[in-house]
Amino acid sequence: MPYDPRCQGDDEEALLKPVKVGLLGLGTVGGGTVNVLRRNADEIARRAGREIQITRIATRNLARERICDTAGIVVTDDPLAVVDDPDIQIVAELIGGETPARELVLRALNNGKHVVTANKMLIALHGNEIFAEAGKKGLMVAFEAAVAGGIPIIKALREGLAGNKLEWVAGIINGTCNFILSEMRDKGREFADVLQEAQARGYAEADPSFDIEGIDAAHKLTILASIAFGIPLQFSKVYVEGITGITALDVAYAEALGYRIKLLGIARRAARGIELRVHPTLIPERRLIANVAGVMNAILVKGDAVGPTLYYGAGAGAEPTASSVVADLVDVVRMLTSDPENRVPHLAFQPQSISDIPILAIEDVESAYYLRLNAEDRPGVLADIARILANQGISIEALIQKEPLAGESHLPIIMITHRVLERELNAAIRQIEALQTIKGPVNRIRLETLN
């Protein structure tokens, strides 16, 4: 018998009709989604088994110039006209932010509609509530586009790696920060200057402090960690440190020692709990992920069975993000007729199997470190520092001492330590900073070998 993509059952006729989708938002991602759905309509219908049709779009600003052709689609400035439309089966929330996205998504679910969203903040902060509501109604909430734009990392973690006990996830998940750090390294440019360019190119969030302070990456890490380890979404427990303290000097010294500095989101299963942290990190330059440049994203996942796997691609932009939104639409359409109990769970693990493994405080995390300090150039200074480190059980892997910078009386000392508990390092740093011979704070960047 030839393959018949139609589902069998009482509603066979309804199942052959196009699935109607309503869009909230017609900005970069909304416009990209319309374009991809139009351009690849036939291919997408062959995959989904049914045509996917956008029938209504809500946009805050009707006069704004559009990047897509909206012919045949009702465009309104009233989002309720989308979420309350009885013909619409799937609502795609592409407006971003917390409010009114949360209210609109909950209302759409209450109206019996499946939801696709690209909103990382919404899922990181309100995902537990949203999935519980969706679960009560047997509805799907799909969010591939919320993490790393076009890279299908949610699907890889949730389905492709389902046979593994996942050990850790480490990702470059903010394109703006990666662009800034890449430009500082490659062209010796200053931070503020590159940030301005990232904003002009449309990489940055509406409020760029979300990028450079690490908050955007922390939203994405919250989601990745839940799916990797089967734990609730808990954004408030992520240790977050952005890239604003990174200087061109640190980038150059790290380079001299064979490392690159990247803003990493790291989720790791440790003996006493889970590490959940976003911070600038030195990575050996020979690692593939250390060579991910510009606005690209990459996520390294270590599973006990598969070993390390790396996922790379565009982490933002109209069509890369639309690629994930449309894949979610196809997934929802494919599953419209399947029994809700037997679908892939939102957070990869069955809701009753989500476990509350403790999240470790940053002082309980073990890491290697890059330290930069300014010391007086006289005998005994290095010995004092070495003694303090030794007393805290910290051993030094590499050390370089530079000439004083022009106009400076003190000389920079750069050290790489072996792995140590952050609590021990903090105690050592306090003692080093108290030495008469040391000027200013000790600059510290965590280091991960990712092997």
Least distance from ligand HSE to the Cβ atom of residue 216, Å: 5
**Closest to 275 (Cα-Cα) out of 321, 328, 237:** 237
Closer by beta carbon to ligand HSE, 85 or else 216: 216
Using rule CB under 6 A, residue 211 touches ligand HSE? yes
Long-range contacts of 377-381 (CB under 8 A, 24+ apart): 377/404, 377/410, 377/411, 378/437, 381/435, 381/437, 381/438
Q: Which of 93, 205, 331, 448 binds ligand HSE (CB under 6 A)?
A: 205
Stretch that binds ligand HSE, among 201-209, 230-238, 244-252, 382-390 (CB under 6 A): 201-209
Q: Which of 28, 59, 89, 176 binds ligand HSE (CB under 6 A)?
A: 176
Least distance from ligand HSE to the Cβ atom of residue 79, Å: 22
Q: Which of 30, 127, 175, 242 binds ligand HSE (CB under 6 A)?
A: 175
Using rule CB under 6 A, residue 213 touches ligand HSE? no
Closer by beta carbon to ligand HSE, 203 or else 349: 203
What are φ and ψ of residue 303, in 5° steps? Answer: -110, 155
Distance between CA atoms of residues 339 and 294, nearest Å: 43
**Gyration radius of the chain's alpha carbons:** 25
| Kind plus residue range of the DSSP H or E element containing 262 | strand 259-270
Helix axes 215-229, 120-137, angle to 10 degrees: 40
Using rule CB under 6 A, residue 204 touches ligand HSE? yes
**CA distances, 80 to each of 54, 270, 300, 387 (Å):** 16, 45, 40, 66
Using rule CB under 6 A, residue 183 touches ligand HSE? no
Q: Which residues on neighbouring strands pair with residue 58, listed in sequence order?
A: 24, 76
Stretch that binds ligand HSE, among 200-208, 236-244, 264-272, 364-372 (CB under 6 A): 200-208
Q: Which of 59, 89, 117, 174 binds ligand HSE (CB under 6 A)?
A: 174
**What is the separation, in whole angstroms, between the first and last Cα of the chain?**
50
Contact letters for ligand HSE, residues 112-151 (x by CB under 6 A): -------------------------------------x--
What are φ and ψ of residue 375, in 5° steps? Answer: -120, 155
Which positions from 278 through 317 interact with ligand HSE, judged by CB under 6 A?
315-316
Give the alpha-carbon dihedral of 129, 135, 139, 143, to 10 degrees. 50
Distance between CA atoms of residues 255 and 364, nearest Å: 28
**CA distances, 96 to each of 30, 100, 437 (Å):** 11, 9, 50
Least distance from ligand HSE to the Cβ atom of residue 106, Å: 23
220 catalytic? Reply is yes
Residues 421-432: b if buried by 16+ CB within 10 A, e if exposed: bbebbebbbebb
Number of residues engaging ligand HSE in binding (CB under 6 A): 11
Q: Which of 216, 319, 328, 448 binds ligand HSE (CB under 6 A)?
A: 216
Least distance from ligand HSE to the Cβ atom of residue 177, Å: 7
Closer by beta carbon to ligand HSE, 315 or else 412: 315
Closer by beta carbon to ligand HSE, 77 or else 193: 193
Residues that bind ligand HSE (CB under 6 A): 149, 174-176, 203-205, 211, 216, 315-316
Query: Could you give the residue numbers annotated as active site?
Result: 220
